[in-house]
Structure 1
């Protein structure tokens, strides 16, 4: 098969997250079986315009602010003449509305409905604009098969207006071979861990807020935070303000092996997002025999 895929970000994008990992893990396996996969994503600083990763040909165009408009023009000028058996649209907050101009079989992947959680992440006018765009998605994809990652997100999509009969669940998964080969060595003293993107909507500050209370019962407890994101400096300052520098450690970016080892040491994995489709890190923690505590939200 010849497959065209579209996602705002690729796996090397500095802002990539679970959606990009989900995509890469699925389509690198499809490419390994001999199928041709081309991904179009937005360009970012110092990235090559064209690159092959895990057998997937990646084309980077435009920028993250106008990708939805730039992709349509790029498709019409460069890709429409090509034959594709399938087009996979990884639908984000601002949709590409591919069914309106691509006359080839299309399936969509949609990880979660952002909704009002955007007000916490970006300025009010921009959040309001994106929420309006998100609500319009079902109108353009009403006859498109949609895959999502959890039952709760599927229910939200149906409430938003998607066709229930065309909406299916494609569960998240983990790299079993990686996690099964890492030896589990639990930390001798209480260790709380968060691994993931450092964003406002992840509410990592709530995990930090729990530390002063936990110290009273577990004086040798430690919180380790792994990952990168635009809130990293703010969280470091917050920890310093609370005088918790001896109890909270920031590791920054972790390789997959380092992440697995850290989760294997943890007593508890904590994740408190305002909204998720389904947190892959919860499954990864469980694979390392670590229980997870999460916020009571969908996903």
Structure 2
């Protein structure tokens, strides 16, 4: 019933309004005493009430949209005229407090807060998931949240033209599949930050109309409008993919993801074998591959446990798969975890697994390594940069559950091999320090390299 209601919503709304108009007209002017038309009026009114009830979940969206429009004229932009360093404006679709935040949001925030510590002023303009403050300071970074998944791009243009233009020295355009197209309206110096090319992800996981649109924007429009823009990316693999698709001809600089080596340190491992996945739960992350691999080794590894930490739209489907395979006692979903919980999980895990179809780098790879945890990952762009096979873990063929299962057995059942990988992981992680990356990024943004 509700499916039909959704499919025919437009027709229902129109017919309902016609019914109410007719009923009121007849009721008030001609047949007010007729029980038949009184009933017709009541039914039409209830039908209309059902439509209103259907729309109630969307009222929050419209309220936010109105507030965003109103704020164009009321938002106070900080006076950074006394700042001795750079005044930097960042456009990104999300920030670290967004319910679907991932590695891309961590990357820009870790750099931004260190830029502030070094005397620069940073404003982050991003989308809002409806649960965050519209304007706040986070680690010294001014965060302005407007719009949602799509409207953030529209509001970025409007707010720049009305409130931000001429107030900043440098603009960072963070592309996460859909760019902000700042070359069309931003006159200040600008860089575009790209974590990975999404074209194949679009083909696999988007419906045809949206897939074609997204592929056009990233694969055709971006190389045209960004041809004179300098880029920053996170790995050699992403740089090579960008050049392959005509991006970055004006120059590409690589600034790797980092870790906070003061917080992420080796800890006490769990007494029984523990596998960890931590990150966004989205279709392209391919977590079902890991679940099937666990199913293959459950009889070989005693007291085995898999923890899946994070949130996303694929979570319900994965829970159904776990139930189907009867692995509820072995696999636990924690939802999104705090930074402290994340560190404890990474320290206690015997192995971290990332079966993703594609990554720009895979920041959780290095975070797990810093905690002394080896990583098994798909041999795909990004992950083949962050996992040093077979020094810090293993790279296996994407989608091959048998290879993932064999790699898991090698780590979980062989104490000496696991210790060797742990040692290699800790050593490798020391190369990725956010403070060093911050200094490199400032040299790039200041045009020194």
TM class by shorter chain equals: over 0.9
Specify the alignment match of 1:213 in structure 2.
Answer: 296
- In the TM superposition, residue 120 of structure 1 has moved relative to its aligned partner by 3.8
Equivalent residues in 2 for 1:120-269 (5 A)? 120-135=204-219, 136-164=221-249, 166-180=251-265, 184-269=267-352
Residue number among 100, 103, 112 corresponding to 2:196 in the alignment? 112
Q: Secondary structure at the match of 2:129?
A: coil
1:246-282 CA distance string (max 9 Å, x none) = 1111111111221111111111111111111000010
- CA distance in 2 between partners of 1:25 and 1:72 (Å): 25
Residue number among 56, 59, 67 corresponding to 2:144 in the alignment? 59
| Higher relative strand content | 1
Q: Secondary structure at the match of 2:289?
A: helix
1:75-98 CA distance string (max 9 Å, x none) = 111211x33111111122111110
Conserved 8 A contact 1:178-1:257? no
Q: Secondary structure at the match of 1:38?
A: strand
4+ residue stretches of structure 1 with deviation over 6 A?
none
- In the TM superposition, residue 238 of structure 1 has moved relative to its aligned partner by 1.1
1:97-133 CA distance string (max 9 Å, x none) = 1012111100111000011212443323212211111
Conserved 8 A contact 2:229-2:250? no
Which has more radius of gyration? 2
Change (3 A) 1:212 1:42: closer
- In the TM superposition, residue 164 of structure 1 has moved relative to its aligned partner by 4.5
- CA distance in 2 between partners of 1:12 and 1:256 (Å): 12
Specify the alignment match of 1:20 in structure 2.
Answer: 105
- In the TM superposition, residue 46 of structure 1 has moved relative to its aligned partner by 3.5
The answer for unaligned runs of 5 or more in structure 1 is none
Specify which structure has the bigger relative contact order, considering alpha-carbon pairs within 8 angstroms and separated by 6 or more residues: 1
- CA distance in 2 between partners of 1:209 and 1:154 (Å): 32
Q: Secondary structure at the match of 1:173?
A: coil
Q: CA RMSD in A?
A: 1.4
1:273-299 CA distance string (max 9 Å, x none) = 111100001001111111101111111
- CA distance in 2 between partners of 1:261 and 1:163 (Å): 39
Equivalent residues in 2 for 1:22-41 (5 A)? 22-41=107-126
Conserved 8 A contact 1:147-1:170? yes
| Higher relative helix content | 2
1:38-69 CA distance string (max 9 Å, x none) = 11112331432211111111112223223223
Specify the alignment match of 1:277 in structure 2.
Answer: 360
Deviates more, 1:286-295 or 1:116-125: 116-125
